């Protein structure tokens, strides 16, 4: 049987407002993860290993931060003469131009290009989730079910009210509630959708003309498919996490240090990235590192416990960093104490400065923020370097 042509579209245009100051200067998909990786590396690596070569990335918010990392797509084998990577920023001068008001609206604005490409199937992905998935398995489920939409689902621990909550029986989706106040289950949409291209285009055109139009996928697009047509379910049983909030971003890093987190070291399905060429990390005499990840280019002379230290980060002698995430080129000066902190790129905790606590909310030092020596930043604070 002839395999269908597949167009993958990654929706990477959201502002990421739930990440607070961490996305003031970069788009959410460009956020660092696990040291030198970026969140966009996850869907791009899954697509590479699934042998899906036609990948479009829809941008909107601070696209330069993402473009600088993606470049021509070479780490994911997308720098091709035919097909490969296509970057889709907002534009003016034709029907469908301008800024989108949600992810479904952003997808519909590419309808003309989708028709021109003429795929059989359209695989729509988000750019801020951690998971491994062979999308060819989703295609097999889709073809066997003969449904116009196949939705990847997964079960989560904790509050499901931030997600699209799914009811499913025998491989079919029977109900869908978008961000309900009282979720009926912990089965949610993993924001991985495989559509028959014609069905997707027809639904988007029709809903765009209706009252309210298209906004997020859960507002009208997915409910329309569930109510009017058969929707197949493909269950993802492995690790899946949404890292769209400060808490979940921090928790995902802490899980890297356990046997239950996202595995960055799976040789059979590696996460690919465009990482800079840096010297190996330096661990000086007198340093103490426990249960942590230390990236290339980092220097540790102090104490690091249960933390992820990014490329070029510095922990000076006498500094104490615990249960924290230090992004690239951040610094903990001598005598500084950081506990349950996310320190963004090029931030600095001065000598004797203190941030966070072992029993409080996550403290965030924004990109380029500086904590003066001996100053204390309370747990849960977000330090914006441009705020008064």
DSSP 3-state assignment of 321? Answer: strand
In this structure, are 229 and 360 located in the same domain? Answer: no
pTM value is 0.94
In this prediction, residues 192-203 reach a mean pLDDT of 97
Instruction: Let me know whether 325 and 207 are in one domain.
Output: no
User: Is 135 inside a domain boundary?
Assistant: yes
CB 254 within 8 A of CB 167: no
Q: Assess whether 22 and 153 both reside in one domain.
A: yes
Q: What is the DSSP string of 154-182?
A: EE-SS--TTSEEEEEETTEEEEEEES-SS
Going by their DSSP bridges, the two strands 164-169 and 172-178 should be labelled as: antiparallel
CB neighbours of residue 140 within 10 Å: 13
- CB atoms inside a 10 Å sphere around CB 151: 28
Q: How many domains does the chain have?
A: 2
Question: Are residue 101 and residue 250 in the same domain, yes or no?
Answer: yes
Give the phi and the psi of residue 349 in degrees, each rounded to 5.
-105, 115
Residue 112 CA, chain-centre distance (Å), reads: 27
pLDDT digits (tens, 9 = 90+) for 61-87: 877 888 888 888 888 888 888 788 988
Looking at residue 1, its pLDDT comes to: 60
What is the percent of the chain with per-residue pLDDT over 70, rounded to a whole number? Answer: 97
Residue 340: give the domain boundaries: 282-383
376, part of any domain: yes
Please check whether residue 338 is in contact with residue 349, taking contact to mean a CB–CB distance below 8 angstroms: yes
Residue 267, in any domain of the structure: no
The residue from 256, 290, 319 where one domain ends is 256
State the number of CA atoms in the 13 A half-sphere of 309 facing the CB: 33
Q: Are residues 122 and 229 in the same domain?
A: yes
Do 199 and 101 have their domain in common? Answer: yes
Q: What is the reported pLDDT for 42?
A: 96
Q: Which CATH number is 63's domain given?
A: 3.90.550.10
**Same domain for 290 and 156:** no
Give, in order, the Cα–Cα distances in Å from 215 to each of 27, 128, 161.
Answer: 19, 19, 18
- 153 within a domain of the structure (yes/no): yes
Same domain, 76 and 148: yes
Handedness of CA 34, 36, 40, 46 (dihedral sign): negative
Whether 218 and 358 map to the same domain: the answer is: no
Whether 300 has a pLDDT exceeding 90, the answer reads yes
Mean pLDDT for all residues in the chain:
92
Q: Residue 290: beta bridge partners?
A: 305
Rg (CA), the chain: 22
Question: Are the C-beta atoms of 16 and 128 separated by less than 8 Å?
Answer: yes
- With bands split at pLDDT 50, 70 and 90, how would you rate the model's confidence at 2? confident
pLDDT digits (tens, 9 = 90+) for 29-62: 999 999 999 999 999 999 999 999 999 999 888 7
């Amino acid at each position: 049987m002839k395999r269908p042509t597949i167009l993958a579209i990654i929706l990477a245009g959201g502002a990421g407002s739930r990440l607070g100051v961490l996305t003031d200067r970069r788009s959410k998909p460009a956020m660092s993860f696990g040291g030198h990786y970026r969140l966009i590396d996850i869907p791009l690596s899954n697509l590479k290993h699934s042998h899906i070569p036609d990948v479009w990335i829809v941008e909107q918010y601070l696209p330069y931060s993402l473009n600088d990392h993606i470049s021509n797509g070479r780490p994911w084998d997308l720098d091709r003469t035919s097909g490969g990577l296509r970057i889709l920023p907002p534009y003016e001068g034709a029907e469908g131009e301008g800024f989108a008001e949600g992810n479904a609206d952003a997808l519909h604005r590419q309808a003309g290009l989708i028709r021109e490409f003429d795929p059989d199937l359209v695989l729509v992905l988000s750019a801020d989730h951690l998971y491994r998935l062979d999308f060819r398995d989703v295609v097999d489920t889709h073809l066997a079910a003969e449904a116009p939409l196949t939705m990847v689902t997964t079960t989560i621990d904790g509050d499901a009210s931030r997600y699209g909550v799914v009811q499913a029986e025998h491989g079919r989706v029977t109900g869908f509630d978008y961000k309900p106040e009282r979720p009926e289950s912990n089965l949610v949409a993993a924001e991985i959708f495989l559509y028959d291209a014609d069905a997707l285009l027809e639904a988007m055109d029709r809903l765009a003309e209706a009252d309210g139009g298209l906004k997020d996928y859960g507002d009208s697009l997915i409910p329309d498919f569930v109510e009017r047509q058969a929707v197949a379910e493909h269950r993802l049983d492995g690790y899946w996490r949404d890292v769209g909030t400060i808490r979940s971003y921090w928790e995902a890093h802490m899980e890297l240090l356990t046997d239950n987190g996202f595995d960055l070291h799976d040789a059979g399905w590696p996460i690919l990235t465009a990482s800079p060429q840096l010297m190996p990390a330096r661990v000086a005499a007198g340093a103490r590192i426990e249960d942590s990840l230390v990236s290339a280019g980092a220097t540790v002379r102090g104490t690091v416990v249960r933390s992820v230290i990014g490329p070029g980060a510095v922990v000076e002698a006498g500094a104490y960093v615990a249960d924290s995430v230090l992004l690239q080129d951040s610094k903990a000066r001598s005598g500084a104490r950081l506990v349950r902190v996310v320190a963004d790129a090029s931030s600095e905790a001065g000598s004797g400065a203190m941030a966070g606590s072992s029993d409080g909310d996550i403290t965030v030092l924004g990109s380029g923020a500086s904590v003066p020596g001996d100053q204390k930043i309370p747990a849960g604070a977000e330090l914006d370097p441009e705020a008064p």
